[in-house]
Amino acid sequence: MNEGAFVCSCAGTCDIDLEEAREGIEDVEVAASSQLLCQDKLEAFEQVIEEYELDEMIVTCPEAKAQEKIEAAAERQGLRPDDVEFVDQREGAGWVHDREAATAKTARLVNAANAGRETERRPRSSIHRAGYDVVVVGDPNAAAAIADAADVTLLADGEELATADADLENVDVERGRVVDVDGKYGEFELTVEALVTDDCVSCMKCVHEGPDGMVTRYPVDIDPEAPVGEWVTVCPTDAIEMEGVERTIECDQVIHPGGEGPVGGQRGYHTKFDPATVNEVERLLGGFEGIDFLDLEMEVCAAGTAGEMGCNECVEACPHDAVERAAIDEVEFHLDSCQNCGACTSACPTGATRLQEPNNERLAREVEALLAPTGDDGGFVSGLLGGSSANIETPMIAFVCSERAQNALREYGRLAAAGRADVEYPPILPVSVNCADTVGEAHVLHALAAGADGVAIVGCGGSCLHSGPDPKAELVERVNRATADLGLGERVSFFAPDPDEPEAFVEEVSQFAVAELEASPIPAGEHEADGGIDDPERENPPFDNHGWTLESVRAILEHVEPEREVIRGLKDFGIVEVAEGCTLTPTCTSYCPTDALRRTENGLDFNHERCVNCGLCEEVCVENVMSVEDGLDLSLLPENKPEEPDPAWERVYEGSMLSCAGCGKQFTSEATADAIEDRIGDVVADLAPDSEESIFQYCPECRARLLHDV
């Protein structure tokens, strides 16, 4: 593929040195520039495409209408819209940074976009099927709005619908109040409670005799707060049940204005009513074709085995109930409910679930391109290009949520350009992510291993659309503990920019970049991640969080002196210890989902590189002598034990296997045989009086022959 780049300064409103920006762009056939590409330079733009036979273009232009013109020009030269990628050199660089920083950042943004495209994959899609049944809770106008397209049930939820100003002719009206909502798109189930049963014939006697304002006419139902009295007996069909009667209503979608609960983020569960909701409900009727946001590789999942629960990270992380425990030892993903936030993927240690786009490899390449020195002889970082001092003094990676956070930063740029606010902040190097939840310890440590001075996680202001307020506090605390233990100090922070308060963001990010961060001892541009561990027997996919994190830690350790031998804060690493009393039963080795334990002739061995801290071995240990502690113990890594014949493995318990006195085959541990003999030896002592050894010294086959004289 022939790739080109085009840098524009948007009529000179972006204070960018176009020549130096071009010089800093790497790995393209040609880099060109213009003061105003979308107006008088489109013909030249087409000539560049034709002359260099370009297949792809990266253009610095954030304006939608201008992008349409540029795409049309590219299309005239045979390129498709997908072959042109746009970079924001304006709101995110030239309008909020000084000339030097904006120039350097623009070149790096183009390089990152180019690096990301090399790992981009076309997303898969699939058909998600459902029916046309929609339940609307308490809102007659919402029910009427979709009645022509769907089979609508209006659940009164205690509302008096007799006076509703809505056409309910094609709507089924049900009495009752919502107690619970469960399920997923296509399979919702509402639990409803009413004080009037279906035997009601709407004779109005209870309405006439009952307490004023506490019995509705349509549908007939009684307020749970209504006092019991003689009026209850007036019902001719005995349909009044003051203790309440529950029933369930099944449907494919739910409109529940103001609704909350565990299904609040599920596709098909709508918590407000507006034109956008109507459009979305109608789009989902009968099913839809949607992108499968996740790649699943469940054979490496550590959720559990043989009826025992192991890792539960994805279930706990998902804010949309798109992951559930289908059984005690397995998890199930509901792709039609997935909202593409990445929470499960950043939590999964093994790579069993991974985002399709942006995948971890793409994020890694973008980070590395943003941090790498550009231009000849050191480019912008050294300031040697043409005598310029263009530089980014504190290279800081910012993982920016592509929803509210990205919009807030764009608004800051517009405010600055319009003269409405004084907005200038350090040139953070942005990597767009689906949500702040996409970011985990692996992403942060890789950025630091690639030479970032610091890492900012930039999420939704006020409250994350997926996970609520302050979604990354726990991650920031953990990773800062880890970086401090590694000898780097605290280098990670979370920011939630409010579009109405740019000064607060400027102050916070400036304080972090200028006052709190020191230059990293790790040089930028030297580390390129492979995304895994050099272990041929480990079948996890590349850039799984556990392997990727360990690779990054090793890259960091080449440049620092760690403060501690055990690095705290890394949740995907466990340290196994075994106390006295282990009988070397094969339980823990059989259950370990990552093969981090093995039983040998001389005891039990542990592979720290493979352990993902699921705790399953501790849970199933029959002697209750095994424990797993969080942390990465550097002394257990094979590079720190070069003198040992098998340095990846550590003996955690000494013991011997027992060879059968009859056939010589090893069949159990000596400790197990001794324990059984201590318990029942007296009971079976006379079963084989002619045997030279205790019957517990024989394997099951030889023991059977011995006892039955075969």
Are the C-beta atoms of residues 353 and 296 closer than 8 Å to each other?
A: yes
Domain over 1-118 is classified CATH 3.40.50: yes
According to DSSP, the β-strands at 454-458 and 492-495 are parallel
Mean pLDDT of 170-175: 96
Q: What is the model's pLDDT at position 265?
A: 67
353: tokens are 């679930």
More reliable by pLDDT, 669 or 259: 259
Q: What is the pLDDT of residues 81-118, one digit of tens each?
A: 999 999 999 999 999 999 999 999 999 999 999 999 98
Q: How far is the C-alpha of 283 from the C-alpha of 561, rounded, in Å?
A: 57
Are the C-beta atoms of residues 310 and 174 closer than 8 Å to each other?
A: no
Q: How far is the C-alpha of 303 from the C-alpha of 323, rounded, in Å?
A: 12
Chain centroid to Cα 557, Å, comes to 27
β-strand partners of 3: 56
Closest CA to 521 of 552, 548, 489: 489
What backbone phi and psi angles, to 5 degrees, belong to 412?
A: -60, -45
Q: What is the model's pLDDT at position 387?
A: 33
Q: How far is the C-alpha of 596 from the C-alpha of 617, rounded, in Å?
A: 10
Are the C-beta atoms of residues 168 and 153 closer than 8 Å to each other?
A: no
Q: What is the model's pLDDT at position 384?
A: 28
Q: How far is the C-alpha of 317 from the C-alpha of 301, rounded, in Å?
A: 15
Q: What is the model's pLDDT at position 526?
A: 92
Residue 350 half-sphere exposure toward CB, CA atoms < 13 A: 28
Q: How far is the C-alpha of 539 from the C-alpha of 542, rounded, in Å?
A: 9
According to DSSP, residue 90 is labeled I
Give the number of residues written for the chain: 710
Q: What is the pLDDT of residues 599-651, one digit of tens each?
A: 888 889 999 999 999 999 999 998 899 999 999 999 999 999 999 999 999 99
**Model confidence band, residue 375 (pLDDT cutoffs 50, 70, 90):** low
The CATH code that applies to domain 574-654 is 3.30.70.3270
pLDDT at 389 over 80: no
Q: What is the model's pLDDT at position 264?
A: 59
Mean pLDDT of 329-335: 91
| DSSP code string of 23-84 | HT--S-SEEEEES-HHHH-HHHHHHHHHHTT-SEEEEE---HHHHHHHHHHHHHTT--GGGE
Are the C-beta atoms of residues 638 and 674 closer than 8 Å to each other?
A: no
Enumerate residues 6+ apart whose C-beta is below 8 A from 617. 576, 588, 591, 592, 597, 626, 628
Q: What is the model's pLDDT at position 377?
A: 40
Are the C-beta atoms of residues 366 and 115 closer than 8 Å to each other?
A: yes
State the Cα angle at 628 between 624 and 634, rounded to 5°: 145
Closest CA to 569 of 415, 393, 455, 441: 441
β-strand partners of 295: 354
Helix axes 545-557, 441-449, angle to 10 degrees: 30
Same fold, 1-118 and 291-355: no
How would CATH label the architecture of 291-355? 2-Layer Sandwich (3.30)
Q: What is the model's pLDDT at position 463?
A: 80
The pTM for the full model equals: 0.81
Please name the residue that has the structure tokens 């569960």: 269
Domain ranges of the chain: 1-118, 133-288, 291-355, 357-374+391-563, 574-654, 658-709
Identify each DSSP E strand in 65-156 by its residue range. Answer: 84-87, 125-129, 133-137, 151-155
Q: What is the pLDDT of residues 506-541, one digit of tens each?
A: 999 999 999 899 999 999 989 999 999 999 899 899
- 127 exposed, middle or buried (CB, 10 Å; 0-12, 13-18, 19+)? exposed
Mean pLDDT of 342-370: 96
